[in-house]
Amino acid sequence: MSYLSPAAAILRDLIRCPSVTPAEGGALDVLRRRLEPLGFRIIRKTFSRLGTPDVENFYARLGDASPNLCFAGHTDVVPPGDEALWTHGPFAGDIRDGVMFGRGAVDMKGGIACFVAAVEHHLASGQRPSGSISFLITGDEEGPAVNGTTAILDWLVEQGEQIDACVVGEPTNPQAIGDVIKIGRRGSVSGRITVTGTQGHSAYPHLADNPVRSIVALTRALLAEPFDEGTDNFQPTNLEVTSIDTGNPAHNVIPASASARFNIRFNDIWTADTVKTEIERRLKVAAADPSLRRPLPDGPRPPSRYRIDYAERPSHVFLTRDEKLIGALSDAVESVTGRRPQLTTGGGTSDARFIKDVCPVVEFGLISQTMHQIDERVSLSDLDGLTSVYSTFIETYFERASQ
């Protein structure tokens, strides 16, 4: 194929940068080379924290006036897995039958490429935004998310940098460009329950206290009863136990301890603190239940001995209500695709959970079907379609901002 649209050319260059978290891989240089000639001021900041990898972040701004419309995303990608299973090399950016293959094609180098191309088109048409356009790009969204978006946002706030609205280019659409705009996300809390028992021989259970019995009772208590039935804006709260472990390789040894990991996605009925309180209430009731535990010779066993350790940072539930941002993007989607997008809060989490503390934020990008898969790919027509939506959105947003 001799001709590539601007978005496809940018995406191919980005895919060819092996930026597996937290490696930068040259992707930020690709963006610098496209944005500097347009007049963007570029800032690259590396942040460090003990026990986590260093991450280089990228902030670029065109103009000084308000409002500052920001596009946020990440150039880091998940590992490709066994590269022999790929039809095309994961970092080759090959094109076949109008489809580009490569890790990050949809999650989310493709979204970044489309927004850069949209800005190029906006400026080439002679339009100047009645405000500012900026890019906030990180390299650890797929990793610990410690030295990336949250760190660069804190730094920008310290510098007095104001962001007024933000679009995150995550692949939000399940079937076609224009299906879904995400206007919020459920909160997330992760934790680990550890039960302490008494190790012993499996043939002499009366001399031991098997912690597996207790961990089964505790996890059953977390899973048995629904937390709620959902709200007008959010689906029901959902808790999943993601692993149960004893670290015991022997068949005839009762383990000394057992642990279970869990994650709960909660809606706006709850806060991180109140959902933790409910989890702990359920565990306390289950720990006192002797039904699964063998009694002692002189009576029932005391309550199960356990502790709960939460992951360091919860993600808080949020809902964006900025009608100017949501309306401009919805109208742009409808203008280009002919469909009015659904406004949802479903799915996992993204860096929008950090950005929402700074400004109104929504998410809209490519089709999500192949993200994180072998042969991750995007059609060239979808790249051009998303570029058109972004281009129309930029124009619409600033028109309304000036009214």
The model's pLDDT over 90-121, given as tens digits with 9 standing for 90+, comes to 999 999 999 999 999 999 999 999 999 999 99
* Residue 141 bears catalytic tag: yes
Cis amide prior to 100 (ω within 30 degrees): no
CATH 3.30.70.360 residue window(s) in the chain: 187-310
Determine which one of 13, 56, 76, 161 is catalytic: 76
pLDDT value, residue 2: 64
The CATH number that domain 187-310 falls under is 3.30.70.360
Task: Show Cβ contacts of residue 119 under 8 Å, excluding neighbours closer than 6 positions.
Answer: 35, 38, 62, 133, 394
Determine which one of 107, 120, 140, 141 is catalytic: 141
CATH 3.40.630.10 residue window(s) in the chain: 6-185+317-401
Q: Torsion angle of alpha carbons 169, 173, 179, 183, nearest 10°?
A: -50
B/e letters for 50-81, b = 16+ CB within 10 Å, e = fewer, are: eebeebbbbbbbbbeeebbbbbbbbbbbbebe
Cα gap 312→314, rounded to integer Å: 7
| Mean pLDDT, rounded, of the chain | 95
pLDDT value, residue 127: 82
Q: What is the DSSP letter of 385?
A: H
Cα gap 327→333, rounded to integer Å: 10
The architecture in CATH of the region 6-185+317-401 reads 3-Layer(aba) Sandwich (3.40)
* Residue 76 bears catalytic tag: yes
pLDDT value, residue 271: 97
- Over the chain (403 residues), what is each successive 10-residue block's mean pLDDT? 88 98 97 98 95 95 97 97 97 97 98 98 90 96 92 96 97 96 96 96 92 95 96 96 96 97 97 98 93 74 92 91 96 97 91 95 97 97 98 95 78
Q: What is the pLDDT of residues 318-359, one digit of tens each?
A: 999 999 999 999 999 999 999 999 999 988 889 999 999 999
